[in-house]
Amino acid sequence: MATAATASASRFAAAAGALYGFRWRTSPLTHRAFFPKPRSAASLRSRRHFLAPAALHRHDVQIQEEGQPETLDYRVFFLDGSGKKISPWHDVPLQLGDGVFNVIVEIPKDTSAKMEVATDEPHTPIKQDIKKGKLRYYPYNINWNYGLLPQTWEDPSFANSEVEGALGDNDPVDVVEIGERRAKIGDVLKVKPLAALAMIDEGELDWKIVAISLDDPRASLVNDVNDVEKHFPGTLMAIRDWFRDYKIPDGKPANKFGLGNKAANKDYALKVITETNEAWAQLVKRSVPAGELSLL
């Protein structure tokens, strides 16, 4: 339930939007903060503690759209309950407890505009990807909601010995949400992870965590990779094939997949999330070079 301060901020946001042409919407957000003492990587994997030095304690996240969709200037910013810009990558908490995680939706299902968090811009808003000055689109619609796990990072200096020694792709971890509802750009979904696909894109490791929104009617039926095959038959193969082949129409080779070309189970997905959350924590503490990445 929104506080009086949040409601006041929402009224102010609506008025400002009418004046300046911004478009706003609000997503509910809850958070249970974790501030564990330093542990070894093995302990982190076994205890499933997630690091959140930049914790968000607001009940609501506001979405501010600037510019027109499908233009170079279009941005989707995130604001806290007071109207202050925050980063969907750094400030939205990863874990809500009880195996539930936040996912930031970048690309709604059944759309083709290649939207992504701008990791090199202050407050890391969502924008449409650009190549050679032109907006990028997939050659065909994506069939699932697609987004990222906040407070994760695939370290480009880390060679994963379990996936052909591939280096991280320098981005947050991607999520494919398989529920039936079409989300909106900037939605914050509460999901449970089900599986992991180890995509290798031009030598870089680009994890795809398969998850389902808790709001989906079938969410209670699926808790691991085998449940996906049972209740969403063919979906894991379809996801793998989609990401394997989507660059082929542009004349590029098909992407590869590690881990035997199959989806790993939920425990492995949680291991990936834990390790990339720990890598993100090192990044925001500046224990590793950030390069052009924004930490604001």
pLDDT for res 49: 59
pLDDT for res 77: 98
pLDDT for res 27: 58
pLDDT for res 24: 56
pLDDT for res 205: 98
Annotated catalytic residue within 20, 74, 137, 138: 138
Structure tokens at 99: 């195996």
pLDDT along the chain (296 residues), means of 10: 43 42 54 35 47 51 95 97 96 96 98 98 98 96 98 97 97 98 98 98 96 98 98 98 96 96 98 98 97 96
pLDDT for res 25: 57
Structure tokens at 204: 């870089």
Helix then strand then coil, in percent of the chain rounded to 5, is 25, 30, 45
Whether 286 and 163 have beta carbons less than 8 Å apart is answered as no
pLDDT for res 192: 98
- Using CA atoms, how far residue 75 sits from 41, 101, 116, in Å, is 36, 24, 10
Question: Measured in whole angstroms, how far is the alpha carbon of residue 260 from the centre of its chain?
Answer: 24
Give dist(CA 163, CA 199) in Å, integer. 9
- Indicate if 146 belongs to the active site: no
The answer to whether the Cα torsion of 118, 120, 125, 130 is positive or negative is: negative
pLDDT for res 12: 41
pLDDT for res 9: 43
Whether 128 and 76 have beta carbons less than 8 Å apart is answered as no
pLDDT for res 281: 98
Give dist(CA 192, CA 273) in Å, integer. 12
Give which of 145, 163, 159 is closest to 209, Cα–Cα: 145
pLDDT for res 179: 98
Domains of the chain listed by start with CATH number: 4-284 (3.90.80.10)
State the residue for tokens 């992870």: 193
Whether 107 and 145 have beta carbons less than 8 Å apart is answered as yes
